[in-house]
Amino acid sequence: MQQQQNPNSQMKQSESLPKDKSHGAHAIFDAHEAISTVIGAMEHYKMYETNIQCQQLQGILTNQYNYLSQTYNTMVDAYQSGQKPTQPTTLYNMEISNDVTYGMQPSQPKQPEQNPQQLNDQCYSSFMLGHLKACATGATTAALEATNPVMRRVLQDSVANFSEMAYEIFLYQNDKSYYQVPQFDDQTMTQLLNSYAPMTQQQH
């Protein structure tokens, strides 16, 4: 009895496939997850924008939403066509100082808010930071083993920009004392920073 050949068992080289079909199954799932995470961030940003009180945070949200919209379109273009997208990935430039305030101030222990009316700018900025971390993680995971080189490049370039946006939120929170940054004492810090030595290169 002759066995039927599974069409999926035929080996194919990437150059023999049309660009829009040069995706492995795992790569499609990972990219799908990354794009869906961006959609989730954008939809939540829309929920937050009418409730945010701080004008600075409102401006950051608007800039980031516009950038996420552009990134989303670029991702979808590369995902569907497998070719260089019409709108390439651009750099996100944050509009906030890089200065960080170190140290801890006494504060009340946090607990989950149980009433939507209790949500404030500290909550919304924390939500934004969480979404951006998820976007950076999703794009990183998808880029590491993407089979289509264009999609991989779009995902990889997006990681740095998601990281920049997340860092912008961190800086905003730190400036407002929402995100406090403790430090080690000088002796401990010095010991940790000097716990490695450069490696001597050996010729083989």
Instruction: Evaluate whether residue 33 is within a structural domain.
Output: yes
Report the CATH number that the domain containing residue 43 is assigned in CATH. 1.20.1260
Instruction: Evaluate whether residue 201 is within a structural domain.
Output: no
Instruction: Evaluate whether residue 138 is within a structural domain.
Output: yes
Q: In the structure, what pLDDT confidence band is assigned to residue 10 with cuts at 50, 70 and 90?
A: low
Instruction: Evaluate whether residue 73 is within a structural domain.
Output: yes
**Number of domains within the chain:** 1
pTM recorded for the entire structure: 0.86
Backbone angles phi, psi at 71, to 5 degrees: -65, -40
Q: Is 198 helix (H, G, I), strand (E, B) or coil?
A: coil
Instruction: Evaluate whether residue 101 is within a structural domain.
Output: no
DSSP 201: P
Instruction: Evaluate whether residue 164 is within a structural domain.
Output: yes
Provide mean pLDDT across the span 100-121: 92
Q: Which residue has the tokens 């998808």?
A: 142
| Domain span including residue 83 | 23-94+122-178
19 pLDDT above the threshold of 80: no
The model's pLDDT over 145-179, given as tens digits with 9 standing for 90+, comes to 888 889 999 999 999 999 999 999 999 999 999 99
Q: Is 177 helix (H, G, I), strand (E, B) or coil?
A: coil
Rounded to whole angstroms, how far apart are CA atoms 117 and 137? 31
Instruction: Evaluate whether residue 67 is within a structural domain.
Output: yes
Instruction: Evaluate whether residue 83 is within a structural domain.
Output: yes
